[in-house]
Amino acid sequence: MAQQTIKRDQIAQKIAEKFDIPKKTVVEMLNYFTELIGQYIKQGNKVKIPGLGTFKVRERKARSAINPKTGEKITVPAKRVPRFTPAKELKELVK
């Protein structure tokens, strides 16, 4: 089976059809949903959505690395990165 990339508009279309609401409204809702998750995890909160998973921020420590082009040693600074952990139900669905 060939892998396909499903985009936000395709998801919005399916939701709009299922609940008989305008696709434009669904797109706005999905955009706001994404924005809210970003705001919450930026504040250090976890966002847990049953059946889907948990969004959170992970702290990466500073580390040394080598620039592959020059071979020069560089220091990669510490940073915060978003992390998603899928729920058990989602893992089971994919099996």
pTM across the whole model: 0.79
Q: How confident is the model at residue 3 (pLDDT cuts 50, 70, 90)?
A: confident
Parse the chain into domains and list their residue ranges: 1-45, 48-95
Per-residue pLDDT of 23-45, as tens digits, reads: 999 999 999 999 999 999 999 99
Average the pLDDT over 74-89 and give the result. Answer: 96
Residues whose CB is less than 8 angstroms from the CB of residue 29 and which lie 6 or more positions away in sequence, other chains included: none
Question: Max CA-CA distance within the chain?
Answer: 58
Average the pLDDT over 14-31 and give the result. Answer: 97
Question: According to the model, what pLDDT value does residue 1 have?
Answer: 62
Beta bridge partners of 82: 57
pLDDT at 78 over 90: yes
48-95: CATH number: 4.10.520.10
8 A C-beta contact, residue 83 and residue 58: yes
Task: Give dist(CA 85, CA 13) in Å, integer.
Answer: 26
